[in-house]
Amino acid sequence: MFIKKAEKAFLKTYDSSVFEKLSVTTDLLVFSISDLKTNNYRKLSNKVMSVFLANRDQFPFKDCWSLPGGFVSPKETLEETAKRVLREKIHVDDLYLEQLYTFGEVERDPRMRIISVAYMALVERSDLPYSLQQSDNWFNIFREDNKIILRNEKDSGVEFDLNMPSVLAFDHQEIIKIGLERLKNKIEYTDLAFHLVPNEFTLTELQNVYESVLGKKLLAPAFRRSIKSKVIPTGNMTSGNGHRPSELYCYKNNEA
Amino acid sequence: MFIKKAEKAFLKTYDSSVFEKLSVTTDLLVFSISDLKTNNYRKLSNKVMSVFLANRDQFPFKDCWSLPGGFVSPKETLEETAKRVLREKIHVDDLYLEQLYTFGEVERDPRMRIISVAYMALVERSDLPYSLQQSDNWFNIFREDNKIILRNEKDSGVEFDLNMPSVLAFDHQEIIKIGLERLKNKIEYTDLAFHLVPNEFTLTELQNVYESVLGKKLLAPAFRRSIKSKVIPTGNMTSGNGHRPSELYCYKNNEA
């Protein structure tokens, strides 16, 4: 076909520098659920959402907390870059991953124009290598009214109010806010919550996950009705200390 | 502060070519509602969703239909690029616009690596310049089962089945599919539908818009109950031909 030939000739001589190129990165918003220790030994430990942040060891924003990220290389898809960042920085390979939003403010990086495609990942903490489960990279997320507070899980003195300007590197606090909003909207009409619990969980644990993501308390009977069709009992019971054994459930669609 | 000074020095000598740069574009998915002419003069004309496509006058994909788009320049935000494309190609300035998704397959453009940030715009047809209302760029969208058919509004012989490979330029048929899915999901829990109707509309017209976006018929009484809180009667009536006058409504939140 003539047009195919003409297109080939066009591509052969195409000057890809006609339009100025830009740098592109992906930033990773990794959410998980942490146990929030309480003082009362009989009380079940509460669950709280947390996000993984990295302390920057180089400029710009040296010593600031930031989302893990990396540059997209020319031969890599956006998702491949996101997965590479997860492997390199969090040492995991297979997480629930979805594209969140692309951030393109002109001055968002002081080095140069960088467009960042943010991805949201969800991980059940016990699926991570032990050192990462226990690392000082996790920040618990507390919400009251419109406030969002991040508090370091290991050092409660390291705390950020996301409504204050520039407490994290780059525009990463905006990315976190948009990710929290996305997760909150999606958890009610999708099954995303099951990426945040172990294979076996009690209904109270599951409710705690929903409560932490939604940022509000739920009524147990209504909650149990709403998720009834999504879970099945495994026949196992918890063997906890200081409280009665509870039935363990699993996610229905995980069943073969 | 020492660290500020050190950061300044770092930025001054930063070599932005360390990581290879890429090309970034935005592609615009402009949805609107068209009147679908019926043969029965007494019947209200039906509404059908439509999408604006441009016929490419240059390589690559010369003579193929594609989404309008443009390269992101270094001093432009993504949204500014999207708005510029709308101004240049559709001659409108103020449309509902939201970022849809970023497409980053390595080989999606035969020229070079191009990442495209797709935006979805919604427009009420009568808000466009007359020439664009009547242009041959509009493709009606018909859905049956899992089939999606685009049919040119002016020339019904120009028709594409989006499930067939490579009927549009680049990955633009995938972008259209993802946009349709997004709109379908959002129309039920947002007020997006009101961007697709004139300021005054009948409830039947509004229902037609929902039906066209959702790709299914709705029951009138249930539909009217579900949108009751979002509309108010304007006191005006249609003065149509061949059918009884109907009450006109407007979107509640447009009221001052």
Please check whether residue A188 touches B, CB under 8 A.
no
Q: Does A6 touch chain B (CB under 8 A)?
A: yes
Q: Give the mean model confidence (pLDDT) for residues A119-129.
A: 94
**CA distance to A174, A254, B36, B207, per residue, from B202 (Å):** 40, 46, 16, 9
Confidence of residue B113 (pLDDT cuts 50, 70, 90): very high
Question: Are the C-beta atoms of A196 and A214 separated by less than 8 Å?
Answer: no
Residue A9 tokens, joined: 């000739």
A contact residues 139-158, partner B, Cβ 8 Å cutoff: none
Task: Give the mean pLDDT of B38-46.
Answer: 57
What SS3 state is found at A118? strand
Contact B120, B179 (CB under 8 A): yes
CB atoms within 10 A of CB B52: 22
Q: Residue B93: its pLDDT value, please?
A: 85
pLDDT, average across residues A133-137: 94
Tell me what the mean pLDDT of segment B7-22 comes to.
91
Q: In this predicted model, what pLDDT tens digit does every residue of B127-179 receive, in sequence order?
A: 999 999 999 999 999 987 789 999 999 999 999 999 999 999 999 999 999 99
pLDDT of residue A45: 55
DSSP B206-240: HHHHHHHHHTS---HHHHHHHHGGGEEEEEEE---
Q: Is B97 on the interface with A (CB under 8 A)?
A: no
B88 touching A (Cβ < 8 Å): no
Q: Residue A44's Cα: distance from chain center in Å? A: 24
Identify the CA nearest to B102 among candidates A211, A53, A99.
A99
B166 reaches A (C-beta below 8 A): no
How confident is the model at residue B170, as a pLDDT? 97
B78 touches chain A (CB under 8 A): yes
Please give the structure tokens belonging to residue B218: 């709705």
- Distance CA(B48)–CA(A256), nearest Å, equals 41
The per-residue pLDDT of chain B, averaged, comes to: 92
- Cα separation, B227 vs B220, in Å, equals 11
Write out pLDDT tens, residues B222-249. Answer: 999 999 999 999 999 998 666 788 999 9
Distance CA(A209)–CA(A230), nearest Å, equals: 15
Express each pLDDT in A22-65 by its tens digit.
Answer: 999 999 999 999 988 665 554 555 889 999 999 999 999 999 99
Q: What is the mean pLDDT of residues B245-255?
A: 87
Instruction: Tell me which amino acid residue A39 is.
Output: N
A249 vs A244: CA distance, rounded Å? 16
Give φ, ψ of A127 to 5 degrees: -80, -5
The CA radius of gyration of chain A, in Å to the nearest whole number, is 22
Burial of B142 (0-12, 13-18, 19+ CB in 10 A): middle
pLDDT given for residue A4 in this prediction: 83
Q: What is the pLDDT of residue B128?
A: 92
Which residues make Cβ contacts (< 8 Å) with residue A128, sequence separation at least 6?
A32, A90, A91, A92
Q: What SS3 state is found at A57?
A: coil
CB A248 within 8 A of CB A233: yes
Residue A89 and residue A14: Cα distance in Å, rounded? 38
Q: What pLDDT score was predicted for residue A18?
A: 87
Which of chain A's residues have a Cβ under 8 Å away from the Cβ of B63?
3
**pTM, entire model:** 0.93
Q: Burial level of B88, CB count in 10 A (0-12/13-18/19+)?
A: exposed
Please check the confidence at residue A239 and state whether its pLDDT lies above 90.
Answer: no
CA–CA gap between residue B130 and residue A225 (Å, rounded) = 53
pLDDT surpassing 70 at residue B39: no
Sign of the CA dihedral with B163 first, then B168, B171, and B173 last: negative
Q: Which residue of B has its CA nearest to A116?
A: B102
Q: Where residue B40 falls among pLDDT bands split at 50, 70, 90?
A: low
Specify which residues B152 forms β-bridges with: B139
Mean pLDDT of all residues in A169-191: 95
| Yes or no, beta carbons of B22 and A24 under 8 Å apart | yes
Confidence of residue B256 (pLDDT cuts 50, 70, 90): very low
* pLDDT at residue A241 is higher than 80: no
* Closest CA–CA distance from residue B130 to any residue of chain A (Å): 33
Burial class (CB in 10 A: 0-12, 13-18, 19+), B194: buried
Q: Note whether A120 contacts B: Cβ–Cβ < 8 A.
A: no
Q: What is the mean pLDDT of chain A?
A: 92
Listed in sequence order, the residues at least 6 apart from B158 whose beta carbon sits closer than 8 Å to its beta carbon are: B139, B151, B152
Paired sense of beta strands A23-36 and A114-122, if any: parallel
- Measured between alpha carbons, how far is A73 from A117 in angstroms, rounded to an integer? 13
Q: Which of A23, A62, A102 is facing B78, going by the closest CB pair? A: A102
Q: What percentage of chain A exceeds 70 in pLDDT?
A: 94
Give how far A207 is from chain B: nearest CA, Å: 23
Higher pLDDT residue, A44 or A176?
A: A176
Cis peptide before B233 (omega within 30 of 0): no
pLDDT tens across A73-122, in order?
A: 999 999 999 999 999 999 988 899 999 999 999 999 999 999 999 999 99
Q: For residue B193, which of B184, B149, B144, B132 has the smallest C-alpha distance?
A: B184
**Residue A256: per-residue pLDDT:** 43
